[in-house]
Structure 1
Amino acid sequence: MDDNNQDLMRTIQMKFPRLSKGQKLIAEYILKHYDKAAFMTAAKLGTSVGVSESTVVRFANELGFSGYPKLQKALHDLIKNKLTTVQRIELSNNLINQENALKGVLKADMENIRATLEKINHKDFEEIVNCIFEAKRIYIIGLRSSTVLAEFLGYYLNVMLDNVKIVKHGISDAIDQMINITDEDLVIGIGFPRYSARTIEALSYVQNKGTKVVAITDSLLSPLATRAEYTLIAQSNMASFVDSLVAPLSVINALIVAVGLREKEKISSTYKELEGIWEEYQVYSHKKEDL
């Protein structure tokens, strides 16, 4: 089953008459509490409705999934754009608690990076690097929790290229800041669930002006990806109510390094000059704290 294109809830409703008694209990629970079911193991879901773990697995197979993890992912995809922060906090109790917070979050972030490495399109990555060098001006937009990613990418690209503008949320609207954009420019849009409406609007605006768009987001079905010519996929599955930005930041790091490798001589010269400035104005502390 292609869980990207099927309406999961409708599929369950259509299959319902043919399900076994135990499978119907699972179906009813998911239809009513899909937000909670998404964070349950097969064993926990079975316990919640009074059936065995194997019945849960067979239920997933009956829906067309190769196993329960695939069904769980479909449920997760269904809810991740709809949950409020309050709902995330409530649901996070199923995933993580005070005692295992450190281990649980680090393991989840490791899984996000592993999945990103498998999903990312290496050809698109190289094409995006080419686009960065070909662009007359580069605009980077990432709002809400993605602001930190946009600032990080913009800071390093601007040191190397000098033609980078970070579109910021402030007094002027994002579109106002890109009013003079042309088809010779490049826009890099960064966004993860819950996607910023302002970012989506800005990408639609520049797309209509014929500007090339690159998206750094979590899925090819993301509203950012549907407005982009090139997309870098970085998994950001949450371990709790806080969005995981570890994999996106790692992808952005790789992009910065790839650009830097093409501009070795310029970067070396720039940083030599910067080191002099930093030393003169004591930007960094060289003192060790007295023990």
Structure 2
Amino acid sequence: MDGREAGFDEVQGRILADLPELSSELRKAARFLVDHPDEVALVSMRVLASRSEVTPTTFVRLARRLGFADWAALRKPFEDRLRSGNAPFAAKADALVKRGAEAIFAESLRTISANLTAAEAVNGGDEIAKACAILERAQRIRVAGFRSCRAPAHAFVYLCRMFRRDITLLGGDSGALEAELAALGKREAIVAIGFSPYSRELGPVVEAARRHGVPIVAIADSMAAPVARHAEVTLRFSTDSPSFFPSVAAAMAIVEALAATMLARSGPAAAERVRETELELQAFGAYLAE
């Protein structure tokens, strides 16, 4: 394209305008970009190629056909869109209502399945091992997740408490977040979960972690997320959804898988603590009698 940066809407319009003139292979890749914009920003070109059933070089050729210098330049507007969160929830809700309810349930489940596949593809063994090592070294783990990310944050704390006691949910007490952040210690670690638009509470969490020298394990929708930019390691998830609200299903799956991996790496002693915790819960009457 010309020398200026193209926005997401402009790129989408260009793709749709050029679609009839593209070869069958380029057309297949172009349609995938239009239909799966979140995945374009989140996963590698190799993964995109596999899902769209074209070769990776097809995306390079498509980028040049559309006037971009390379694939990275074409991908950038998709990444910017994901960061900006520029599709308001209300607008998406209006579109959903106009569309009708007949196929939404099944499509939502298919999209969640695709998000889980993407999470497996983009989070390699090295990232998982690094995240676990950071958390294993920490004397205390603090978990930050706000608004819709509260659910995966709470789940991670609940699961990890089955085999280690030194994990807490930041902001668990109303109004206490600032006091908790002021008490951070250098031998602690933070797990921060977020997606665009990012909760404002993540700002003070990141700033406090930097000030106290506390490592961050980010679970985010993009490597460009504010929390990811300051993290030691980032595990990524897609929020793609046909609904009006971003999906957190993949984030929930990541925290469950991370907790399971941490337990497996901790060995028999951790398994024994799970057994002890389960017995305590039963003794307290935590479960209904069947």
* TM range, smaller chain: 0.7 to 0.9
Q: CA RMSD in A?
A: 3.5
In the other structure, the counterpart of 1:135 is 138
Which of 192, 197, 201 matches 1:194?
A: 197
What letter corresponds to residue 68 of structure 2 in structure 1? G
Over residues 80-136 of structure 1, what are the superposed CA-to-partner deviations in whole Å (9 max), with x where a residue is unaligned?
613332122124458x64101221001111111112222113212101111111012
TM-score (norm 1): 0.72
CA shift for structure 1 position 148:
0.6
Superposition deviation, residue 253 in structure 1:
1.4
Tell me what 1:86 maps to.
Answer: 90
Amino acid at match of 2:269: K
2:66 to 41, 51, 62: 62
Are 1:260 and 2:258 counterparts? no
In the TM superposition, residue 267 of structure 1 has moved relative to its aligned partner by 3.3
TM-score for both structures, normalised by structure 2: 0.72
Pick closer, same or farther for the CA change 1:115–1:132 going to 2, 3 Å. Answer: same
Partner of 2:27: none
Alpha-carbon distance between aligned partners in 2 of 1:248 and 1:10, rounded to the nearest angstrom: 25
> Does structure 2 conserve the Cα–Cα contact (< 8 Å) formed by 1:216 and 1:248?
yes
Displacement of 1:250: 1.4
Distance 1:165 1:39 in 2: 41
Structure 1's 89 and 9: CA in aligned 2 closer, same or farther, altered over 3 A?
A: same
The amino acid that maps onto 1:105 is S
AA of the residue aligned to 1:83: A
Q: How does 1:154-233 map to 2 (within 5 A)?
A: 154-168=157-171, 170-233=173-236
Identity of aligned residues (%): 18
Q: How many residues align?
A: 245
Cα distance in 1 between the residues matched to 2:113 and 2:269: 34
**Residues 283 and 10 from structure 1, CA distance in 2 versus in 1: closer, same or farther, beyond 3 angstroms?**
closer
Conservation of the 8 A alpha-carbon contact between 1:81 and 1:193? yes
Q: 1:107 aligns with which of 110, 114, 133?
A: 110
Q: Does 1:246 align with 2:244?
A: no
CA drift at 1:261: 0.7
Larger displacement relative to structure 2 (197-206 or 267-276): 267-276
2: CA distance between counterparts of 1:107 and 1:201?
A: 36
TM-superposed deviation, 1:266: 2.6
Of residues 281, 285, 289, the one that matches 1:282 is 285
Q: Distance in 2 between matches of 1:239 and 1:76?
A: 19
Inter-partner Cα distance in structure 2 for 1:76 and 1:123:
23
**Structure 1 residues 21-60: aligned runs within 5 Å:** none
Structure 1 residue 221, shift from structure 2 partner: 0.7
Higher RCO (C-alpha 8 Å, min separation 6) = 2
Which whole-Å CA distance do the structure 1 matches of 2:124 and 2:205 have between them? 24
Structure 1's 279 and 252: CA in aligned 2 closer, same or farther, altered over 3 A? closer
- Aligned-partner Cα distance in 2 for 1:71–1:93: 32
Measure, in 2, the Cα distance between the counterparts of 1:65 and 1:237: 27
SS at match of 1:222: coil
SS at 2:163's partner residue? helix
In the other structure, the counterpart of 1:270 is 273
Structure 2 CA distance for partners of 1:102 and 1:72, relative to 1, 3 Å: farther
Any stretches of 5+ residues in structure 2 without a counterpart?
Answer: 19-32, 37-61
- Whether contact under 8 Å (1:204, 1:227) holds in the other structure is no
Shift of 1:205: 2.1
Indicate conservation of the 8 Å contact 2:163/2:274, yes or no: no
In structure 1, C-alpha distance between the alignment counterparts of 2:94 and 2:207, rounded to whole Å = 34
Deviation at 1:76, TM superposition (A): 7.7
Q: Which runs of 5 or more residues in structure 1 are unaligned?
A: 24-37, 42-57
Q: Is this contact kept in 1: 2:115–2:239, CA < 8 A?
A: yes
**In structure 2, what is the equivalent of residue 31 of structure 1?**
none
Computing the radius of gyration over CA atoms, which structure comes out larger, 1 or 2? Answer: 1
Query: Which segment drifts farther, 274-283 or 58-67?
Result: 58-67
